[in-house]
C-alpha cells in the first residue's frame, strides 16, 4: 500500500469512528430517563444512606433542569412551564411503570433491577 492510500484509509477510519462515537452519545433526555429508572428502582428496593441519597438527588436536579431546557429547545413552538412539566411527568410515569412491572414479576433480585441499583450508586457519585 502506498503512502497516499494509507493516509486516506487512516482519515476514513478516523471519520467513521468519530461518527460512531457521536451516534452512541446519550442525549440529556436519555440520561434523564436513566435517572428516573434508577431512582424508582432504588426507592422500591434499597434504603440508601442520607449522604448517597443527597448526592443522587443533587445530580438528578441538574439533569432535570437540563432535560427541561432540552424539551423547550426541541419544540418548534414556545411551550409553557406546565407543558414541560407534563412532558416530564409522562416520561417519569412511563419509566416508573417499566420498573414496577419488572419488580412485580421478578422482584428486586432481577438482574435488570440490580443493574439499575448499581447505576443509582454511580449516578450518586457523579460530579456535575
* CB burial readout 52-62, b (16+ within 10 A) else e: bbebbeebbee
Quote the DSSP letter at residue 34. H
Domains of the chain by residue range? 26-125
pLDDT in tens, the chain (128 residues): 444 443 343 434 444 433 444 456 789 999 999 999 999 999 999 999 999 999 999 999 999 999 999 999 999 898 999 999 999 999 999 999 999 999 999 999 999 999 999 999 999 999 98
pLDDT at 26: 80
What letters, b where the CB count within 10 A reaches 16 and e where it falls short, cover 66-92? bbbebbeeeeeeeeeeeebeebbeebb
Burial of 20 (0-12, 13-18, 19+ CB in 10 A): exposed
Q: What is the pLDDT of residue 25?
A: 73
**How many residues are given for the chain?**
128
CA dihedral angle for residue 118, residue 95, residue 65, residue 69, rounded to 10 degrees: 130
pLDDT given at position 24: 61
Amino acid at each position: 500500500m502506498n503512502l497516499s492510500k494509507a493516509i486516506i484509509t487512516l482519515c476514513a477510519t478516523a471519520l467513521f469512528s468519530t461518527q460512531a462515537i457521536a451516534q452512541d452519545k446519550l442525549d440529556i433526555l436519555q440520561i434523564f430517563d436513566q435517572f428516573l429508572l434508577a431512582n424508582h428502582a432504588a426507592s422500591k428496593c434499597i434504603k440508601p444512606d442520607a449522604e448517597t441519597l443527597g448526592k443522587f438527588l443533587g445530580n438528578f436536579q441538574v439533569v432535570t433542569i437540563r432535560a427541561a431546557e432540552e424539551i423547550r429547545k426541541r419544540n418548534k413552538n414556545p411551550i409553557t412551564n406546565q407543558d414541560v412539566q407534563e412532558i416530564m411527568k409522562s416520561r417519569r410515569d412511563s419509566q416508573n411503570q417499566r420498573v414496577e412491572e419488572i419488580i412485580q414479576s421478578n422482584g428486586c433480585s432481577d438482574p435488570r433491577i440490580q443493574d439499575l441499583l448499581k447505576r443509582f450508586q454511580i449516578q450518586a457519585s457523579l460530579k456535575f
